[in-house]
């Protein structure tokens, strides 16, 4: 009996000791939340004279397309609670009905929803299709190039998702999902994740998840390689399913007295967002939002670290300004690149994927490029500490200098 008691006490001591790093991480996460709150109070922005800015997410699923337990009500409430202007749905296809037509389409509360699909081709490539199609299920039977020719003829956007599995890099797609919450979550160490789930997640769910984010080096490298040859866009996908967790004593009517969900829409929508710029003269409509996506007039914001609204990246010549997604000419004294952030940060300017210049702890960055190339900006909040000294707070789409 004494031996059993001793073994139990040793086991208990080990369990307690193992918790210490996670208790400390809980303390550190609380301090990080306080820093971010202070940043929010200090942020400053200058009104954009050319564009109105709208924030939202792309890549979301409900139970309609399978792979999810999320309801329309849960999705709408989460989008409205996060003040999202838009949600681009990407329902999985079904053999029996058009999921893009039956999902959310139109304005619900304060949010515009557009029904899209996540589709596969015969080449095992996967795309986010915006807007969706009643032929989504059949696309898995045709090659990627034929799929792209067809959807482009219908004025739809085809955006590469899961680029780590993509094969048809020479095809004429419209953009690359360089960062995915779903892919990032799969890379979390299960033991570390469990400890943080117990200690940090209940109080700081979004920040706890964000602490595992890493800059998507390989995907950005591939994007820069292709963007050096032609215009495309980069984006971050939420890939929200609201399907991770467990419940006890539930029934088919949805009654779940004990229900724990790790990835509810409301938390996922607070993490990373797309900020779209639409000309001030144009109203905020489904058509104008899709057009802005097509033109690359948007940036990625890791908004869990603070609202990125008000970020700007533009070019000026002696003729007219240019913005993300635009092609510009007039090298030398005639062309200047500008960038601005709502909080002091480190700006990194990349040309054709290689770092050209950087400026630390400032809200503005200016440079006169001397060579043609594809220019984009990454912004970092180094003072928040690891991993956010290496994971960008903001990633812009490019300006193409010819």
Q: Could you report the per-residue pLDDT of 29-40, keeping only the tens digit for each?
A: 999 999 999 999
Domain ranges within the chain, ordered by starting residue: 47-306, 311-383
Range from 9-13, 331-335, 341-345 carrying the lowest mean pLDDT: 9-13
Range from 56-65, 99-108, 317-326 carrying the lowest mean pLDDT: 317-326
For residue 153 the two structure tokens come to 């003829």
Quote the CA–CA distance of 129 and 239 in Å, as a whole number.
Answer: 14
Average pLDDT value for the chain: 92
Question: Residue 186 has what pLDDT?
Answer: 79
Nearest to 207 by CA among 327, 29, 391: 29
- Tell me the pLDDT tens digit for each residue of 156-175: 999 999 999 999 999 999 99
Q: Is 105 exposed, middle or buried (0-12, 13-18, 19+ CB in 10 A)?
A: middle
Q: What is the mean pLDDT of residues 98-105?
A: 96
Q: How many CA atoms lie within 13 A of 375 on its CB side?
A: 33
Question: Residue 19 has what pLDDT?
Answer: 83
Superfamily of domain 47-306: Metal-dependent hydrolases (3.20.20.140)
Per-residue DSSP letter, 135: T
Residues above pLDDT 70, as percent of the chain: 95
Question: Residue 1 has what pLDDT?
Answer: 58
Q: Residue 207: pLDDT above 60?
A: yes
With H, G, I as helix, E, B as strand and everything else as coil, classify residue 50: coil
Residue pair 240/57 in contact by the 8 Å Cβ criterion: yes
Would you place residue 248 in the very low, low, confident or very high pLDDT band (cuts 50, 70, 90)? very low
Q: What is the mean pLDDT of residues 5-11?
A: 75
For residue 294 the two structure tokens come to 């097509």
Residues 6+ apart with CB under 8 A from 178: 163, 216, 219, 220, 223, 234, 235, 236, 300, 395
Question: Residue 182 has what pLDDT?
Answer: 84
Q: What is the mean pLDDT of residues 197-220?
A: 95
Q: Residue 251: pLDDT above 60?
A: no
Question: Residue 247 has what pLDDT?
Answer: 42
Helix (H) or strand (E) holding 397: none
Q: Where are the alpha helices (DSSP H) in 228-360?
A: 265-268, 286-295
Q: What is the largest CA-CA distance in the chain?
A: 88
* Number of CB atoms found within 10 A of residue 246's CB: 11
User: φ and ψ at 146, to 5 degrees?
Assistant: -70, -40
Helix (H) or strand (E) holding 289: helix 286-295
- Tell me the pLDDT tens digit for each residue of 12-33: 777 777 788 889 999 999 999 9
Terminal-to-terminal C-alpha distance of the chain: 81
């Amino acid at each position: 009996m004494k031996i059993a008691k001793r073994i139990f006490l040793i086991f208990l001591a080990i369990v307690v000791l193992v918790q210490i790093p996670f208790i400390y991480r809980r303390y550190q996460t609380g301090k990080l939340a306080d820093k971010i709150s202070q940043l929010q109070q200090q942020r400053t922005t200058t009104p954009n004279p050319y564009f109105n800015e709208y924030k939202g997410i792309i890549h979301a699923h409900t139970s309609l397309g399978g792979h999810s337990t999320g309801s329309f009500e849960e999705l709408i409430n989460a989008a409205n609670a996060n003040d999202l202007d838009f949600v681009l749905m990407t329902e999985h296809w079904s053999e029996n009905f058009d999921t893009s037509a039956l999902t959310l389409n139109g304005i619900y509360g304060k949010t515009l929803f557009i029904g899209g699909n996540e589709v596969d081709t015969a080449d095992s490539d996967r795309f986010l299709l915006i807007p969706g199609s009643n032929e989504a299920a059949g696309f898995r039977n045709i090659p990627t190039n034929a799929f792209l020719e067809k959807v482009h003829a219908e004025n739809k956007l085809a955006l590469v998702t899961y680029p780590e599995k993509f094969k048809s890099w020479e095809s004429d797609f419209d953009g690359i999902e360089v960062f995915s919450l779903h892919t990032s979550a799969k890379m979390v160490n299960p033991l570390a994740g469990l400890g943080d789930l117990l200690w940090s997640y209940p109080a700081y769910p979004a920040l706890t998840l964000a602490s595992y984010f890493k800059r998507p080096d390989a995907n950005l490298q591939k994007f820069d390689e292709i963007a050096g040859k032609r215009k495309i866009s980069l984006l971050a996908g939420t890939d929200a399913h609201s399907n991770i967790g467990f419940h006890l004593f539930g029934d088919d009517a949805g009654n779940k007295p004990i229900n724990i969900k790790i990835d509810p829409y409301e938390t996922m929508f607070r993490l990373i967002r797309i900020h779209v710029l639409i000309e001030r003269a144009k109203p905020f409509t489904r058509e104008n939002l899709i057009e802005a996506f097509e033109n690359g007039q948007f940036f990625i914001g890791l908004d869990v670290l603070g609202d990125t609204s008000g970020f700007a990246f533009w070019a000026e010549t002696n003729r007219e300004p240019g913005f993300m997604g635009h092609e510009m000419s007039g090298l030398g004294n005639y062309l200047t690149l500008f960038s601005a952030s709502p909080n002091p940060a480190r700006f990194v300017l990349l040309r054709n994927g290689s770092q050209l210049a950087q400026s630390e702890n400032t809200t503005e960055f200016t440079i006169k490029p001397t060579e043609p190339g594809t220019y984009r900006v990454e912004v970092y909040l180094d003072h928040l500490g690891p991993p956010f000294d290496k994971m960008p707070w903001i990633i812009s789409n490019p300006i193409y200098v010819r």
